[in-house]
Amino acid sequence: MTTSEGHMPEATDEHIERLKENMEKVEQLSKRLIEVMAGKKAHTPALDGPNQELFARAATAYWAEAWQNPAKLLEQQIEFWGKSVLNFAEAQQALTTGEVEDEDAKPADKRFSNPLWESNPYFRLVRQQYQTNAEAIAQAVASVDDLDAKDRRRLSYFSQQIIDMMSPTNFLPTNPDALQKAVETDGQSLLQGLENLVADLEANDGELVVKLADESAFEVGGNLATTPGDVVYRNRMMELIQYKPATETVFETPIVLFPPWINKFYILDLKAQNSLIKWITEQGYTLFVVSWINPDESYAETGMEDYIRDGFLAAIDEVKKICKVKQVNAVGYCIAGTTLSLTLSLLKQRGDKSIKSATFFTALTDFSEQGEFTPFLQNDFIDGIEEEVTREGVLRSWIMGRTMSFLRSRDLVYGPAIRSYMMGETPPAFDLLFWNGDGANLPAKMSVDYLRGLCQRNEFVSDGIELMGHKLHVKDVDVPLMAITCETDHIAAWKDCYRGVQQMGSRSKTFVVSESGHIAGIVNPPSKKKYGHYTNTDMKADSDSWMKQADFHKGSWWPMWEAWLKKRSGKQIPARDTGDSNHPRLAPAPGTYVVANPNS
């Protein structure tokens, strides 16, 4: 049997019998499937899709346009009918003659890479009609004029989700790859695929969260997050890890790094070859990293102020005590960068100069443009989240993970689901995808504080946000700073980060745009010689002008940042061991919070 030419393999009597046997095993798995779905824990329906008013407004606008300009609607319909009839006619001709005409070159779509999509009349018709339908939907959405910008963006996003969901590759009868493998393996691939599906459902209380990586291949503290260090402080919000020195002397001013609490800190310490944590210690710095608690429902009333007080301020205070210094250099990544800017405003108003310099990794402070998150930051979704967290006490990690995944649904939802559930394949042993699936819950109050006050009302750059008895504002951020952003970041777009940094009060600002995205642009070790970066000292220009005039530098931004940091890190002193008499070593790195599971 061969499929290299795009032919379906032959099915002998022996193969059919084995296929029947495997299909009987499917019944047993089906019982498990029914059981797990019967016990599925409910969640707020509003989290599954937009309020139907969006589609009602779109339909009203569409038909109003059609009433005013019926020729436009007829033109679209006739074009759709014509293409559909032509698709069918070509399929009929191919069935009669056994020959398929070559199509004009079209942009590659890796979903349709199997030769059968071109050579087999059935699959060719299915593909062509799907693409025709997709074009018609996109054209109809684009023709809706009487909607505001946010509704248009949301309509475009959700209609594309429908298009992607209805791809013929997502269904067994119209997926030649899955059908070929089912016949080749006598149905074993389907059996294993169902096993994978049931296992994923059982692991998530009936919620379908597609496993992206082979979890058995990784262990946090085993082959991930292995840079030597110790937990030297712990409270209800975080563990403070001090990493062991890698040089005989270190700079006097320590670094305290705050990672996002949506995911785990070890994205910065996946393996030795790409560990920013290890690299920093090798440059001669005393490094502390915060490892956040993965909260359960007992943290329901924990808000942004708790992350500032018991996270940022507590960590800075303990680092100063351990290192016997008055100042630290602080780093904040993503939401922790946003919160570092809030903390800097608070310290400014208090007259506290504990932070000598600040580095922001892909951190938003101005949310006037919501970018790709626009579909999820409107009231219908936020109302749904508020209802969900009020009931559960936390925003469960799978909800945030699912939202992130659907921003890249072909690569992070449908593609992995096809390989796992239809092809019966084991997910790859990929450390980045393992980390991506190792999310954390978010406290109820913190989720609402962040989504309402910062994302929706954009208070930090408008009238100020009320926290801890102060009205915090972005203009109060006045320490020397460097902002690292990423060119193709779909979570914190560099232009939006730039707009926030422009409004900060610092006299010394360095802004950098790294090639690649939210993770790869940050985890970009110099040894890889992979992604370059852009710099421009003119922070008064708009973002487009800034980029046009920027200088491009080959290679990682890490060495440039280290040269900047060195000037703000004081003299060389003997390397510090971890902890002190008042800060005993509580656990070796990566600590206990990073592996704790509040849902178990």
pLDDT of residue 1: 38
User: Which token pair is 62?
Assistant: 């569409």
**How far is residue 239 from each of residues 228, 303, 408, measured CA to CA in Å?**
15, 18, 32
Three-state SS for 52? helix
DSSP assignments along 390-434, one per residue: HHHSEE-HHHHHHHHHHTTHIIIIIHHHIIIIIS-PPPP--HHHH
> Per the structure block, which two tokens stand in for 87?
């698709």
**DSSP H stretches of helix in 292-378:** 304-307, 314-323, 335-350
One digit per residue, the tens of pLDDT, for the chain of length 600 reads: 334 445 555 556 776 777 677 667 777 787 788 887 777 777 777 666 666 665 555 555 554 555 555 555 556 666 656 666 676 677 777 777 766 666 655 557 899 999 999 989 999 999 999 998 999 888 888 877 777 788 888 888 888 888 899 999 999 999 999 999 988 888 889 889 989 998 888 888 788 888 999 999 999 999 999 999 999 999 999 999 999 999 999 999 999 999 999 999 999 999 999 999 999 999 999 999 999 999 999 999 999 999 999 999 999 999 999 999 999 999 999 999 999 999 999 999 999 999 999 999 999 999 998 778 888 888 888 999 999 999 999 999 988 888 888 888 889 899 999 999 999 999 999 999 999 999 999 999 999 999 999 999 999 999 999 999 999 999 999 999 999 999 999 899 999 999 999 999 999 999 999 999 999 999 999 998 899 999 999 999 999 999 999 999 999 999 999 999 999 999 999 999 999 999 999 999 999 999 998 865
What's the CA gap between 216 and 456, in Å, rounded?
40
Cα–chain center distance at 416? 15
- Pairing state between β 470-472 and 465-467: antiparallel
Amino acid 64: pLDDT: 52
- Give 325-337 as a DSSP string: -S-EEEEEETHHH
Query: Going by C-beta distance under 8 Å and a sequence separation of 6 or more, which residues neighbour residue 571?
Result: 251, 252
CB-neighbour burial class of residue 150 (10 A; exposed 0-12, middle 13-18, buried 19+): middle
Q: At what angle do helices 13-38 and 176-184 cross, to 10 degrees?
A: 120
Domain 229-374+438-595: CATH superfamily is Alpha/Beta hydrolase fold, catalytic domain (3.40.50.1820)
Other Cβ atoms closer than 10 A to 371: 17
Give the count of beta carbons closer than 10 Å to the beta carbon of residue 23. 13
CB–CB of 291/590 below 8 Å? Answer: yes
Q: How many CA atoms lie within 13 A of 415 on its CB side?
A: 15
Instruction: Give me the phi and psi of 467, to 5 degrees please.
Output: -150, 135
Catalytic site positions: 334
- pLDDT value at residue 4: 43
ω into 590 cis (within 30 of 0): yes
Cα angle: 480, vertex 583, 438; to 5 degrees: 70
Domain boundaries, the chain: 50-175, 229-374+438-595
Distance between CA atoms of residues 370 and 455, nearest Å:
8
Q: Quick count: other Cβ atoms within 10 Å of Cβ 191?
A: 21
User: How many Å apart are CA 6 and CA 469, to the nearest integer?
Assistant: 69
DSSP-assigned letters across all residues of 237-295 = SEEEEEEPPSSSEEESS-EEEE--SSS-GGGGGSSGGG-HHHHHHHTT--EEEEEE---
